[in-house]
Amino acid sequence: MVFMQDSERAAQIALERGIDAGLHLNFTSPFSAPSVSSELLVHHERVAAYLRRYRINQAFFHPGLMRSFDYVVAAQLEEYAHLYGAPPTRLDGHHHMHLCANVLFGALMPAGTMVRRNFSFGPKEKSFLNRRYRQFVDERLAQRHRLTDFFFSLAPLEPVDRLQNILALSHESTVELETHPGVPEEYRFLTGDEFLRRIRDLPLATHYAGRGHAH
């Protein structure tokens, strides 16, 4: 994330250590850096108020907020390039709001970039309408961006066969697995012998990769 209190130090560490970083677009949480312009704060608050009001709002294009969405995205792209010395090649979003209608249909993310898709779900996990909407968004994304084949959350860790089925997909498909090491349960699992045993024979990417690359 950019325009946050620790964004500059995080960028310095990433550059020094060769960390494969991308831009985590923020439309809903207040910027905490001291140097954010008043104009950006106004546009960001307009966007945040709309998206936070009702969860369903992200699915509807708001013509009156086109300029604010454009300004907020452009400012974050510019700040990332300033901090990292190059434009981001990978994009996702805080609370996955980079998939909201104004960003998607406004074509605000640079074409050709790697963009995080919707979470992947099976028929028994989400309704048909929910899954069809996610499919529609992913199809729209794929017209301008590179995507992985599947995107899952590490949690929940139970039942055991859920994660095993996800890992099995990576033998033939490009799979992204989201995790939050700040959650004690997930940290213990990621650093334990069980997880290392499960991924021992999997093709793992050395960087964030799209279709045609193992991840």
pLDDT per residue as tens digits for the range 23-65: 999 999 999 999 899 999 999 999 999 999 999 999 999 999 9
Between 206 and 142, the higher pLDDT residue: 142
**What pairing do the DSSP bridges indicate for beta strands 114-115 and 23-25?**
unpaired
Mutual angle of helices 38-53 and 66-84, in 10-degree steps: 120
What is the domain range of residue 25? 7-118
Residue 195 tokens, joined: 């997880």
Instruction: Report if residue 176 sits inside a domain.
Output: yes
Does the structure show a pLDDT above 70 at 22? Answer: yes
Strands (E), 58-192: 90-93, 114-115, 150-153, 175-178
Percent of the chain with pLDDT over 90: 78
Q: Are residues 21 and 88 in the same domain?
A: yes
181 and 112 share one domain: no
Considering the domain architecture, whether residues 159 and 110 belong to the same structural domain is answered as: no
How many domains would you assign to the chain? 2
Tell which residue, 99, 117, 127, has the closest CA to residue 178: 117
pTM recorded for the entire structure: 0.89
Residues 104 and 184 in one domain: no
On whether both 98 and 201 belong to a single domain, the answer is no
pLDDT tens profile 75-113 = 999 999 999 999 999 999 999 999 999 999 999 999 999
Average pLDDT of the chain is: 92
Q: Is 145 exposed, middle or buried (0-12, 13-18, 19+ CB in 10 A)?
A: buried
**Which of 101, 118, 135 is the last residue before a domain boundary?**
118
